[in-house]
Structure 1
Amino acid sequence: MSDARQYFDLPSPFAMKRGGSLQGARIAYETWGSLNAAQDNAVLILTGLSPSAHAASNAEDPSHGWWEGMLGPGKAIDTRRWFVICVNSLGSDKGSTCPASLDPATGETYRLNFPDLSLEDVANAAQALVKSLGIEQLACLIGCSMGGMSALGYMVLHPGGVRTHISVDTAPQAQPFAIAIRSLQREAIRLDPSWHGGQYGDQSYPDIGMSIARKLGVITYRSAMEWNGRFARIRLDPEQREEQPFGFEFQVESYLESHARRFVRTFDPNSYLYLSRASDWFDMAEYGNGNVMEGLQRIRVEQALVIGVSTDILFPLEQQEQIAEGLQAAGAKVEFVALDSPQGHDAFLVDIENYSRAIGGFLARI
């Protein structure tokens, strides 16, 4: 646990969109830079499914963050100018209240007794933190991947709370392909005999289910072009191959295995299930009489930057265009950037140069 991590106690009870509430809940967050006297230089970052609030290194925690190249003095999100807040999503086990937390009512771990989680709950929790810091309006709200959907929820639920918006590789609703992939990931976890209906422990843990779920994710986070370029059909050396029928033979198989092994015990399986399903449920059409564009047009911001990648199969470019068109129709001045990065959905974590140019340029103009 980093020393930079701070905690905000949510109002209690904290009502959840789909019913139920949380008592004594909190969210973890980190900050960079300083809030100015006018309190109008705050930038909030909402993350993808698995990252923590540690987006970048700081004095309290010098370890590299998940968006290290993007955030800091003189970088695209320049902390000499901006007071930056990154929130760990409600429902995530990186410090925020989640299914792995203790239920104060029972003294037991929530597990599947955690209330149904929506991305609107994630948004409302983040907004409560922002308000507690004395910030009436964010200078900019940045949402990446799942966090981009949470950001749309934030803006539609809290009119006037955001001046400008940066939408990064996200969607106004989950499309069938994304839902299908996440459904398979959840199924892999639930069908692992060690999941035990959510009642796993350190001795009996759904390692295999989480490993398969992570591999599926990694496959869809990158593009076929990226896989071809990195691995082609290169085979493992004989001594690297598994001594069993149908064992790993290709380098790409070994890569996925090592990637999964690094992830498996670092993220709570039940939290993964809850956040994954919340992503499927999110739909801006709910705010527009069943129409996504009408829902988007309920969002009021002055300016927006919408970035997408042509190789993203999880959140395809058409969905970024839809967000840009909706915000523009609502009166925002919108810049749309379509990148050709080969890295697919993960490009915003990898292609820092091109994303920095777009994000840094936009922030310099607001």
Structure 2
Amino acid sequence: MDHQSVPDMPAEIIPPATRLMALADRFQLKAGGELHRARLGYETWGRLSPARDNAILLLGGFSASAHAASNADDPSAGWWERMIGPGKPIDTDRWFVICIASLGGCFGSTGPASINPATGQRYRLGFPEVSIEDTAEAAVQAVRRLGIAQLACVIGTSMGGMTALSLLCRHPGLARSHINISGACQATAFAIAIRSLQRQAITSDPEWREGYYSRATAPSAGMRLARMLGTLSYRSIEEWDIRFGRTPIGRERAVPNPKASFAPEFMIETYLHQQADRFIGRYDPNCYLYLSRAIDRFDLGDQTGGDIMAALSRAAIDQALVIGVTSDLLFPLCQQEMIAEGLRRGDVATETLRITSLRGHDAFLADFEQFGPPIGRFLTSIACRQPDCANA
């Protein structure tokens, strides 16, 4: 294939309010490669205090951009809109919130959809292997360039929970506290299997073309299948039964051709197709491949010779809140219990919260009533350790 003749691929998807910060020119990657003139996408809310002691770093999930909430530059709702803002659980009247986009994604931070400065073309599969640890290091650079010596709190959700743990264990003392929501120290075999099937769906699509797809011929069928698999794993079996059961669509069973007889027949099928259709064009396929593999390869124990508990005990924070969901298939509750145990071994005052919800891994995005109050209370408790608590 003449790669030079292939039209440009779908470009990065950078939200209007996302700012771009240059990283160190020769940004070293865990796998041994390096990025030149790389950048990190981020957004902020609230104001940094004169003492620079009220900063919260937010690290989101696999398909999350830096646009976690609306702001003056982008009034559209963010992925955690109900959680961030004046008077909300993450109160921007008190806190200065920073949310970053992961390296390897397509939301402003350098990834496969970005331009390679050495060639003037998009990286595509020429992008080097990227890891969870690389995003953690990029986040540390961002925090320091914003003039923040120590964060009040690091909050990580899903994949962001992995990134947060990597950051805390690699840079003890960088934060005073931590909230880990549906995170993990390493992926389970089930989660790896799901993501493997998602990658196979994309790479089996003839339009993927070894990463050299064009704007007009992106591997949409593969991306749809990948998203449907993901959607199934994000929620619980019980929720699917309650919401859809065996409810039929209502179409006539008699159809004129054999292929049509295998078209969606139940409401659950229609819902999965609708969710997949909404995702097309909102995420780059090559970025999907790179970041999903980064999740699979992450192992917090890599930092301590394979000893996960030793890695967790190095976090050097004062207190933590670890939240898990009883119906989570992708990041099951036992993984959050491991995080809490390891932090306690490092003498971290750790509160654990088991949330009963049918919404599975997506619960932190959907069950605001269960997540908002405890997160707000935890942040209030760490705020009251600051000298100006009486003036709050």
TM class, shorter-length: over 0.9
Closer, same or farther: CA 240–264 of 1 in aligned 2, 3 Å: farther
Q: What is the DSSP-based 3-state SS (H/G/I as helix, E as strand, rest coil) of the residue aligned with 1:138?
A: coil
1:142 aligns with 2:155: yes
Which runs of structure 2 are paired with 1:256-275 in the superposition (5 Å)? 256-275=272-291
Matched, 1:16 2:29: yes
Which residue of structure 2 aligns with residue 158 of structure 1? 171
TM-score by length of 1: 0.98
Aligned-partner Cα distance in 1 for 2:356–2:344: 23
Post-superposition offset of 1:287:
2.2
The one-letter amino acid of 1:290's match is: G
CA RMSD in angstroms comes to 1.3
Give CA-to-partner distance per residue, 1:189-245, whole Å, 9 cap, x none.
Answer: 111111111111122211111101100000000001111111011000217998713
Q: State the alpha-carbon separation in 1 of the partners of residues 253 and 314 from structure 2.
A: 56
Between the aligned partners of 2:138 and 2:303, the Cα distance in structure 1 is: 19
Name the CA distance, whole Å, in 2 between partners of 1:47 and 1:31.
Answer: 14
**SS at structure 1 position matched to 2:280:** helix
Q: Is the 8 A contact 2:173 2:315 kept in 1?
A: no
1:181 aligned to 2:197?
Answer: no
Aligned twin of 1:329: 345
Task: Kindly state the Cα deviation for residue 160 of structure 1 after the two structures are TM-superposed.
Answer: 1.2
Alpha carbons 1:288, 1:296 under 8 Å: kept: no
Residue 316 in 1 paired to residue 332 in 2?
Answer: yes
Q: Which amino acid aligns with 2:83?
A: M
- Residue 338 of structure 1 is matched in structure 2 by 354
> Helix, strand or coil: the match of 2:118?
coil
Q: What's the CA shift for 1:104?
A: 0.6
Q: Is structure 2 residue 184 aligned with structure 1 residue 171?
A: yes
1:289 deviates by 2.4
Out of 59, 71, 80, the position equivalent to 1:46 is: 59
Select which of 256, 278, 288 maps to 2:294.
278
Greater C-alpha Rg: 2
Shift of 1:3: 3.7
The secondary structure found in structure 2 opposite 1:238 is coil
* Paired residue type of 1:79: T
**In structure 1, the residue corresponding to 2:281 is in which secondary structure?**
helix
1:195–1:240: structure 2 CA closer, same or farther, 3 Å change rule?
Answer: farther
- CA distance in structure 2 between the aligned counterparts of 1:104 and 1:267, rounded to whole angstroms: 22
> Contact between 1:241 and 1:247, CA under 8 Å: does it hold in 2?
no
Any runs of at least 4 consecutive aligned residues in structure 1 with deviations exceeding 3 A, and if so which? 239-243
Shift of 1:291: 2.2
Kept in 1: contact 2:300–2:311 (CA 8 A) = yes
Aligned partner letter, 1:206: P
- Counterpart of 1:201, as a letter, is S
CA distance in 1, matches of 2:281, 2:177: 37
Distance apart, 1:156 and its partner CA: 1.1
> What is the alpha-carbon distance in structure 1 between the residues aligned to residue 70 and residue 134 of structure 2?
27
User: Residues 46 and 96 of structure 2 are in contact (CA less than 8 Å); yes or no, is this contact kept in structure 1?
Assistant: yes
Match of 1:357 among 359, 373, 382: 373
> Which residue does the alignment assign to 1:80?
93
For each residue in 1:282-323, what CA deviation from the matched residue of structure 2 results, as whole angstroms up to 9, or x when unmatched?
Answer: 101212322222221222111000000000010000000000
Q: 1:68 aligns with which of 75, 81, 85?
A: 81
Q: Which of 83, 102, 109 is 1:89 aligned to?
A: 102
CA deviation map 1:88-111 (0-9, x unaligned): 111110111110111111111101
Instruction: Give 3-state SS (helix, strand or coil) of 1:245's partner.
Output: helix
Comparing 238-247 and 160-169, the one that deviates more: 238-247
Residue aligning to 2:313: 297
Q: How far 1:187 moved relative to its partner? A: 0.8
Task: Please name the residue that 2:142 is paired with.
Answer: 129
Q: For 2:136, what is the secondary structure of its paired residue? A: helix
**8 Å contact 1:174–1:280 — kept in the other structure?**
yes
Distance in 1 of aligned mates of 2:305 and 2:255: 55
CA positional deviation for 1:348: 0.2
> TM-score when scaled to structure 2?
0.91
Give the unaligned 5+ runs of structure 1: none
Q: Is the 8 A contact 1:166 1:306 kept in 2?
A: yes
Aligned residue for 1:196, secondary structure, equals helix
1:252-274 deviations in Å (ceiling 9; x for gaps):
00000010001021100010111
Equivalent residue letter for 1:284: L
Query: For residues 15 and 185 of structure 2, what CA distance do their matches in structure 1 show?
Result: 33
Matches within 5 A, 1:100-249: 100-238=113-251, 244-249=260-265
TM-aligned CA deviation for residue 20 of structure 1:
1.1
Please state whether the residue corresponding to 1:165 is helix, strand or coil: strand
Contact 2:238/2:358 (<8 A) preserved: yes
Q: Aligned residue for 1:254?
A: 270
Percentage of pairs with the same residue: 54
